[in-house]
Amino acid sequence: MNDSSLDIRGITVRFGGLTALDNVSLTAASREVTGIIGPNGAGKTTLLNVLCGFVRPQSGTIHFAGRELTRLRPHRLASLGIARTLQGVGLFRGLSVAENVMVGAASHARAGFWTAFAGLADRDERRLRQRALQALDRVGAADLADSMPETLAHGPRKRVALARALVAEPAMLLLDEPASGL
């Protein structure tokens, strides 16, 4: 395993009497696209939920970039550069498309009293919006920036969710059913 690869060993997840994942192992190299295929109910989403910390496995280990991740919480995994799109899109109602994507770019924002005091917060917001617009352009959705997500069809919402994940410049990007509805 190279230092920036993903290494999953012996992951088992049970929900009551149902075994969703049984001793699953997988290795994926850095900068490589790895697909996980299978019928509905095979455990693909459960595996992604384990990788992003939404579900804790009963057994097994996860290593990424030479670091043990198995028991880390979702916010900690996100801070380490692990981003995820959800099967159900997961955009925020009441925020514009650009604002939804800016949420993904928030890890690139400066924060704190001195930032606000020095007037950097406004510049930071403009910079984050520019990054969001670039990400929307990458997925062919730049024209939707000022739209509200709830007014969009499923396909465009999926592209917005992808832009939100990409704008974070993640070290690992987990896509759950990325082409469904497109």
| Sequence-distant (≥ 6) Cβ neighbours of residue 26 within 8 angstroms | 6, 7, 8, 34, 36
Give the CA-trace dihedral at 8, 10, 13, 18, to 10 degrees.
140
**DSSP states of 31-86:** T--------TTSSHHHHHHHHTTSS--SEEEEEETTEE-TT--HHHHHHTTEEEEB
Which domains does the chain show, CATH number per domain?
Answer: 6-72 (3.40.50.300), 97-175 (no CATH)
The pLDDT of residue 88 is 65
The pLDDT of residue 151 is 94
Give yes or no for a contact between 126 and 99, defined as CB atoms under 8 angstroms apart: no
How many alpha carbons fall within 13 Å on the CB side of residue 17?
0
SS3 161: helix
Element spanning 12, H or E: strand 6-15
The pLDDT of residue 182 is 67
SS3 175: strand
Count Cβ atoms below 10 Å from residue 88 Cβ, excluding itself: 11
Residue 30: DSSP 8-state: T
The pLDDT of residue 111 is 44
The per-residue pLDDT string of the chain (182 residues; one tens digit each, 9 = 90 and over) reads 446 689 999 999 999 999 999 999 999 988 888 889 999 889 999 999 999 899 999 999 999 988 999 988 988 888 888 888 776 677 888 999 999 898 877 654 444 444 444 444 556 778 888 999 999 999 999 999 999 999 999 889 889 988 988 888 888 888 887 777 66
Confidence (pTM): 0.74
